[in-house]
Structure 1
């Protein structure tokens, strides 16, 4: 049930009241962020209160053919359910990439990817001295987060695409076994473990292109996955996932609602054979709970409007604007777009910068990444064809 947004069109100058219904929220939740799939963006700090029965529009409901006057307030028509509601809940998955390891975290599970180039010598399955120091750190994190009641801790080995499948499968299995033994020696018998080798069958990056060496390096890895122990604030006991202390980044308080700040940097880029130009105006980034919100405007400088599907800035990559991300220059840690659900098919951003195409128009863009540590006051914004934009302030 909710406002029917599929058969209506909005008229300039009029305000439209909209009703949305979500699955039930945890009783302890008193504020939330509502994300829109347009340039309206994110609405942080929205209060959550107990309702008093079905919600009905307060404004007059507009008909399909109505043309409300500028300044008037109307409501979209509300449609009822003709079957079970299709709403659902999804974990948010934050991705960080460092020089030694990458981490994919949600509120319920974590996957740590370790570069085998650091763990092992070429074509070997014996751990290096440096690997043992790295596994000390991983074991400490695992002990603090992993839930022994939800086994196993899964160690999975992967290779690049060179070599035959049988050889790659054997090498990846032996490397996973070696990491399992080291983790078990550090964590003991309170946990259950399983190791498996996938060989080259589950690459993270496409090999054979202009970045082949980097792609192969990214694909050579050992991944350690486990379920996260849930905690309530102050008790450390099992509870609703809505109260997890560190669900993806350096957790902090939810952000209040705020206007965008002033432009702190601008960059230019050209696209297509016609030389269409765009300008990106970067605003201060800000923290919202365990995440960092990157905010910017993209201005069409012409000469043409250009199709909106060519102006995709999705943090999953693709489109004319490519793959946007945020990095901490002091640690070289890269923070990538937060995904909705494990499959990675949707991200917490609208994905497009052009909802208004005409030259001279601008569109607001935003995306979420895991929050860097609280000591990080500025970050570098990798804005694809607009280049690296350093010293973006974090509020």
Structure 2
């Protein structure tokens, strides 16, 4: 059998694994490195952010339980106005266990102010990522213990006014405050020497030098990068209203039970106050001349024609109230959608709450993409924007608290405020002596009537609550296409004994004066007073 079949194959490890979301390891040496010591995280936060390179360590998660400690060093992040290039070095810190299949969170570069998510560009000719390769069109790279693996990948360029981005993925938690260098041309990569030492046909190696360099596939100008620019969708909920924000689109949903009597379209006395607060939010959020679409929804009780008529009449009644309150300067449209767009699944144990969730009147509009912090205190709390400065780079944090469920310990780290978002890192740790599947779905702590799309996956049941206001902030979703989304929360599967597997969940940020939150961590239950850094 060939050495390639016998060895474990490296798929652009850690970072490269994350960039292609999965791959194989290949062990070509027997050298071992000890992980470097970690700095005190609190002291690192107090000091000015250092210049690149930035370093993060974690465990490479693999499906069969064979995993290793690894390190990613971020050397440079350059933008030429059309594309952005990340240059990293990957180091394996433990002996490779053999042939394994690795699955890790995909790499994303995030603008924490605008909520734009940049994904790695793919060469459509052969279906693999642009950047470093060993065999063009093949995702696998030879990987060596104790020998640094240089790696480049390409993204769409951010806006010119963006100075730093946040790196997420690859089981490293996340890295904020990565500075962007704006260049006319990317820094030239070293001349490849890999073929002088490793045969590309047999993958047999000779004596390896101290550094190995690979060729790279650089994207040609003029690529369509729109599919690789994505936006984050946030959802903030209160007993009166909820707000969904995705890119430049925003929807305020008022719960109909607070606005109308059962099966009626005449607003109640309480509706006037709710509309007044909604108008205050709209004045702050919108530019003059914006079109506001008022949309009525019902639950699935009743016939289609009845629901359609009721939803249209309620939308018209809400429009008349908001138009009177706002005055001139905006245009309006109304729609009735009956029970065609249910948010919560009806017919389950929480049927009553689900139907109440589905009965709503929405105000849909486009907002400027500029990141602005809400100053108004008269509007709906759920519709306020809270935007801080981007977080600076810092070393790893200390665990805040640990909770357990079914032989799995959950290490909970402090929340970090980064722009308009909160980044929550947790560590899953197997407390047994054998491999363990992290089956954490079936959130007993899920709120009755919660929107179905926010309660799926390992961390999909996670949510944050403000103690004073009672506002609920759900895990961010990323819009990946027409009506297609993925949670901005990592998945965890097989856990090896004793090792910690870092995972990330992202939430919309609260007001600046909020310094701690309650985390509802799915099957792990309620964890109060998580501090915000």
Tell me whether the two structures share a fold, i.e. TM-score over 0.5. yes
Please say if 1:281 is aligned against 2:411. yes
**Rounded Cα–Cα distance in structure 2 between residues aligned with 1:61 and 1:126:** 76
Please say if 1:154 is aligned against 2:293. yes
| Cα distance change of structure 1 residues 67 and 143 upon mapping to structure 2, 3 Å threshold | farther
Q: CA deviation at 1:343?
A: 3.4
**Counterpart position of 2:397:** 261
Q: How does 1:197-236 map to 2 (within 5 A)?
A: 197-228=336-367, 230=368
Deviates more, 1:141-150 or 1:126-135: 141-150
Please say if 1:292 is aligned against 2:422. yes
Q: CA deviation at 1:101?
A: 0.6
Deviations 1:98-138 (A, max 9, x none): 11111012441210011011111111111122221111111
In structure 2, stretches of 5+ residues that fail to align are: 1-129, 375-383, 444-451
Please say if 1:184 is aligned against 2:320. no
CA contact (8 A) 1:337 1:368 kept: yes
**TM-score normalised to structure 2 length:** 0.64
**Rounded Cα–Cα distance in structure 1 between residues aligned with 2:453 and 2:498:** 25
**Rounded Cα–Cα distance in structure 2 between residues aligned with 1:182 and 1:386:** 44
Secondary structure of the residue that 1:367 maps to in structure 2? strand
Deviates more, 1:294-303 or 1:159-168: 294-303
Deviations 1:321-348 (A, max 9, x none): 5511111122111111122227351233
CA contact (8 A) 2:372 2:385 kept: no
**Counterpart position of 1:273:** none
**Rounded Cα–Cα distance in structure 2 between residues aligned with 1:41 and 1:323:** 19
Aligned-residue RMSD, C-alpha? 2.9
Q: CA deviation at 1:40?
A: 1.4
Deviates more, 1:93-102 or 1:317-326: 317-326
**Rounded Cα–Cα distance in structure 2 between residues aligned with 1:68 and 1:39:** 32
- Which of the residues 69, 79, 84 maps onto 2:223? 84
**Rounded Cα–Cα distance in structure 2 between residues aligned with 1:269 and 1:76:** 45
| Cα distance change of structure 1 residues 222 and 303 upon mapping to structure 2, 3 Å threshold | farther
**TM-score normalised to structure 1 length:** 0.85
Q: CA deviation at 1:206?
A: 0.9
| Cα distance change of structure 1 residues 187 and 343 upon mapping to structure 2, 3 Å threshold | same
Q: CA deviation at 1:9?
A: 5.7
Secondary structure of the residue that 1:173 maps to in structure 2? helix
Q: CA deviation at 1:68?
A: 11
Secondary structure of the residue that 1:279 maps to in structure 2? strand
CA contact (8 A) 1:31 1:45 kept: yes
Please say if 1:44 is aligned against 2:176. yes
**Counterpart position of 1:394:** 532
Secondary structure of the residue that 2:152 maps to in structure 1? coil
CA contact (8 A) 1:13 1:71 kept: no
